[in-house]
Structure 1
Amino acid sequence: MTDHPTPRETGSAETRPHETAPIETAPGETLELRVGAPAHGGHFVARHEGRVVFVRHALPGELVRARISAGEPGARYWRADAVEVLEPSEHRVAHPWPAADALLSAGSGTPPVGGAEFGHAALGHQRELKSLVFREQLSRLGGVDPDAIGFGGTQAPTGERADGLAWRTRASFSVDGQGRLAMHAFHSDRLIPVREMPLAVDAVNGLRLWEIPLPGIERVEVAAPASGSAPLVLFVEAAGAKPGAADRAARRLPEGVSAAALTQEAGGAADGAGSLRRLRGRTWVAETAWGHDYRVTGEGFWQIHRLAPETLVEEVLGLLDPRPGQRIADLYAGAGLFTVPLAEAVGPSGEVLSIEGAPGTSRDARRNLHGRPQAVVVEGRVEKRLPVPGAGAGADGGGADDGGAPFDGVVLDPPRAGAGRAAVARIARARPGRIAYVSCDPAAFARDVSDFARHGYALRSARVLDLYPHTHHMETVGLLVRA
């Protein structure tokens, strides 16, 4: 995820700073700035005496007073937060979430929580901004003209609410030093107590977690399936916390809600690795998509927008057009969102290979694909485990499954950082005829598109879906084919 764009990342000559003498301005001071184009990462480009300033919580064309948040006098660029709007954009609206409203927070001396940085823009304008960012990233980093592939702008999924709220089926919260439910300010260790999350579905807010004392808890993860099945609350206990912290919190949850605890070892891994134990109900949630049932355990990955699973499966199946007897690979496959319908489409005479690196999520995939012998689940890294035609067992660090015919199609749904050059090279060696690439980061998508071009693959289409309303994030589904 590129939350902090550098001038190299944001690109055009218009956004690259000139070399200037140091300007005597320090973090915490305010500047009056005329705001320009959007930059990847939720910022907007402004200039002060030749120096680029990346401004959050503003809109193009506005005149704002912005407080410098990062950047020493000699830095090539600064970052700032709009704290007062002197000349507002016609697209500026009231923010739907007071805790994330930068202007309101500036008046109270408290920073806004992160996660809704576009809430001050009308929903249609948010999508226009995302389209501009996507076009710039694709043309500059990917070397592809968006018009040449028929890019039609950012679109809302069918069934989206008019206000763009109540879409998150997953939510992650921190806990402050007083045991209160909280969220982080943007790129800060500071925690802000919260009492609601308007971007979350009603089932998440209905838990009223802010009313539960949470001493000894470091983080709270919530999953509330769009199907209406029982929510799961995962309490991550702080390393070294007194025993029973999660148990006490779980007793305060409403009836019918499952709860689990992740207990961390003192001095253990920073990623929260530890032992998962059931407190009540079950340690997994039941999800549905495209007529299929799925089991997703604990912190296992699942698309967070309530409409995303159905929407993305429809997009991927439309791009790959899987047929009986075909051989397809689902890479970074998660719990099997795409693998299950693909296995059904290729039938017993075909093969679908699922590759997923997270052990727990890979186990979920095995359960979800039980009874489908045409589906093979492999745990490991794509660049190591994806079979390539003509390779012997173990070649290039691969597994015993190396070799065989080329793949008819590939689903590529990597983490936010993208697939990367090693995985792209491996996929190209597997010689799939079509690649359906699902991405939540336009810069990573564009970089991988450029790498695929070096291996003989061309981007034929790209559709951007607004699966993260009121944030700068977007979901891209692209089709790459062998040239």
Structure 2
Amino acid sequence: QWGMEQGWVAVEALQYTAAGADTLALPGNFTQVNRGVNTAMIEQAKNWLLVNESDRLLDLFCGNGNVSLPFSNEVHSILGLEASDKAIELAMQSPSRQENSQYQVANLINTKLQDLPNVVDFEPTCVILDPPRAGAELAVNNLNALPSVQKILYISCDPATFARDLSSLVSDKWHLRKVGIMDMFPHTRHIESMALLEKKKIGHQK
């Protein structure tokens, strides 16, 4: 009844393929609708992160698993966190999800990462951040509470909060290695920004 209450004609989940993974989306739920740019964005994320089969990938603000599902066959394990229970259901139901990929409901706006036992026990080596326009201020301010993390890939739809959060990370022991933008919807103000950060080594502060 949820979709009917919102006035949608179609209420069944839609399936699309991006970067080799099949992802599900419900009418009314957020998903990237520019399929070409979305695929290019995920491929760039793969090329930048350069994960391997020993990596444990933590996907924060994971939505329906759009970005992390294509990594399923390339990493040891994936843990995706998202506040929307409907989005988590879709991620878990994806035909491309492997047994090594778990998606769970979590409030990342008001909860510190170190207060989530599933995150601490997961010991992630890489983090994908893909927050809403408000950014990921609490998460970025607590990433150093997860000492196993070596790389962060930040995807943003808002330049102001993107700049704010990058500034916090750069001043808090992280190197900014790469940054770029993707014109998600040409002739509009909507762009996606992406940055790759690596943890500074002890004794190497430049």
Q: TM-score, normalised by structure 1?
A: 0.38
- Considering Cα pairs closer than 8 Å and 6+ residues apart, tell me whether 1 or 2 has the greater RCO: 2
One-letter amino acid matched to 1:466 = D
Partner of 1:77: none
**Aligned positions of 1:17-28 closer than 5 A:** none
Partner of 1:479: 196
Partner of 1:302: 31
Cα offsets for 1:19-66 (capped at 9, x unmatched): xxxxxxxxxxxxxxxxxxxxxxxxxxxxxxxxxxxxxxxxxxxxxxxx
Distance 1:453 1:417 in 2: 19
C-alpha contact 1:441 1:475 (8 A) present in aligned 2: yes
Partner of 1:368: 94
Give the drift of 1:426: 2.4
C-alpha contact 2:178 2:195 (8 A) present in aligned 1: yes
Gaps of 5+ in 2: 201-206
Distance 1:433 1:359 in 2: 29
Whether 2:120 is the aligned partner of 1:408: answer: no
Partner of 1:314: 43
Distance 1:430 1:343 in 2: 22
C-alpha contact 2:155 2:193 (8 A) present in aligned 1: yes
2:134 to 407, 417, 430: 417
Distance 1:467 1:371 in 2: 26
Gaps of 5+ in 1: 1-235, 237-259, 264-275, 389-395
C-alpha contact 1:285 1:295 (8 A) present in aligned 2: yes
When the two structures are aligned, how many residues end up with a matched partner?
A: 197
Partner of 2:204: none
* SS in structure 1 at match of 2:31: coil
Distance 2:167 2:132 in 1: 18
Q: RMSD of the TM alignment (CA)?
A: 2.3
Give the 3 Å change call, closer, same or farther, for CA 367–455 of structure 1 in structure 2. same
* SS in structure 2 at match of 1:337: coil
**Aligned positions of 1:317-328 closer than 5 A:** 317-328=46-57
**Aligned positions of 1:278-297 closer than 5 A:** 282-297=11-26
Partner of 2:158: 441
C-alpha contact 2:140 2:169 (8 A) present in aligned 1: yes
Partner of 1:261: 4
Give the 3 Å change call, closer, same or farther, for CA 482–357 of structure 1 in structure 2. same
C-alpha contact 1:315 1:477 (8 A) present in aligned 2: no
Percent same amino acid among aligned pairs?
27
**Aligned positions of 1:78-117 closer than 5 A:** none
Cα offsets for 1:191-243 (capped at 9, x unmatched): xxxxxxxxxxxxxxxxxxxxxxxxxxxxxxxxxxxxxxxxxxxxx9xxxxxxx
One-letter amino acid matched to 1:261 = M
Give the drift of 1:472: 2.1
**Aligned positions of 1:76-475 closer than 5 A:** 260-263=3-6, 282-346=11-75, 350-368=76-94, 372-382=98-108, 384=111, 386=113, 388=114, 396=115, 398=116, 400-404=117-121, 406-420=123-137, 422-431=138-147, 432-475=149-192
Cα offsets for 1:120-142 (capped at 9, x unmatched): xxxxxxxxxxxxxxxxxxxxxxx
C-alpha contact 2:18 2:35 (8 A) present in aligned 1: no
Per residue, is there more helix in 1 or in 2?
Answer: 2
Q: Which moved more, 1:329-338 or 1:296-305?
A: 296-305
Q: TM-score, normalised by structure 2?
A: 0.85
